[in-house]
Amino acid sequence: MKTILEVQNLCKSFEDNQVLNNINLKVEEGEFLAIMGQSGSGKSTLLYNISGMDRPESGNVFLCGKDISKLDDEKMSEVRLDHMGFVFQHSYLLKNLSIHDNIVLPGFRSGKMPREQVNQNADILMKDTGIDSVANHDIKKVSGGQLQRAAICRALINKPEVLFGDEPTGSLNSSTTKEVMDIINDVNKDGTTVIIVTHDSKVAARADRVIFLMDGNIHAELKIGKYEDYEEKRPLREKSLNQWLEKQGF
Ligand SMILES: Nc1ncnc2c1ncn2[C@@H]1O[C@H](COP(=O)(O)OP(=O)(O)OP(=O)(O)O)[C@@H](O)[C@H]1O
Ligand SMILES: [Mg+2]
Buried/exposed 39-73: b ≥16 CB within 10 Å, e otherwise? eebbbbbbbbbbbbbeebeebebbbeeeebbebee
pLDDT tens per residue, range 93-111: 999 999 999 999 999 999 9
Q: What is the pTM of this model?
A: 0.97
pLDDT tier, 1 (very low <50, low <70, confident <90, very high otherwise) = confident
Q: Which residues contact 88 (CB under 8 A, 6 or more apart)?
A: 151, 165, 166, 167, 168
Q: How far is Cα 210 from Cα 192, in angstroms, rounded to an integer?
A: 17
Question: Given this model, what pLDDT does residue 148 score?
Answer: 95
Contact 159, 121 (CB under 8 A): yes
- Residues with C-beta atoms within 5 A of ion ligand 2: 44
pLDDT tier, 233 (very low <50, low <70, confident <90, very high otherwise) = confident
Question: Given this model, what pLDDT does residue 195 score?
Answer: 98
Contact 216, 42 (CB under 8 A): yes
Taking 90 as the threshold, does the pLDDT of residue 199 lie above it?
A: yes
User: Which residues are registered as beta bridge partners of 66?
Assistant: 63
Pocket of ligand 1 from Cβ distances under 6 Å: 14, 17, 19, 37, 39-45, 199
Query: How crowded is the C-beta side of 240, counted as CA atoms within 13 Å?
Result: 15
pLDDT tens per residue, range 141-161: 999 999 999 999 999 999 999
Query: What is the CA(42)–ligand 2 centre distance, in A?
Result: 7
Atom of ligand 1 nearest to the CA of 48: 18
Atom of ligand 1 nearest to the CA of 39: 25
pLDDT tier, 228 (very low <50, low <70, confident <90, very high otherwise) = confident
Question: Given this model, what pLDDT does residue 231 score?
Answer: 77
**Residue in 12, 13, 14, 36 to alter for ligand 1 test, most ligand atoms within 8 A of Cβ:** 14
Look over the chain and give the mean of its residue pLDDT values, rounded to a whole number.
95
pLDDT tier, 192 (very low <50, low <70, confident <90, very high otherwise) = very high
- Looking at ligand 1, which residue's alpha carbon is closest to its atom 26? 39
Query: What is the CA(20)–ligand 2 centre distance, in A?
Result: 13
Q: How far is Cα 201 from Cα 186, in angstroms, rounded to an integer?
A: 19
pLDDT tens per residue, range 52-76: 999 999 999 999 999 999 999 999 9
**Residue in 13, 15, 41 to alter for ligand 1 test, most ligand atoms within 8 A of Cβ:** 41
Map out the domains of the chain with their CATH numbers.
Answer: 3-247 (3.40.50.300)
Taking 80 as the threshold, does the pLDDT of residue 230 lie above it?
A: no
| Long-range contacts (CB closer than 8 Å, 24 or more residues apart) made by 131-138 | 131/99, 134/99, 135/98, 135/99, 135/100, 136/98, 136/99, 136/100, 137/98, 137/99, 138/98
| Segments of the chain assigned E as strands | 3-14, 17-28, 32-37, 58-63, 66-67, 84-87, 162-166, 193-197, 209-214, 217-223
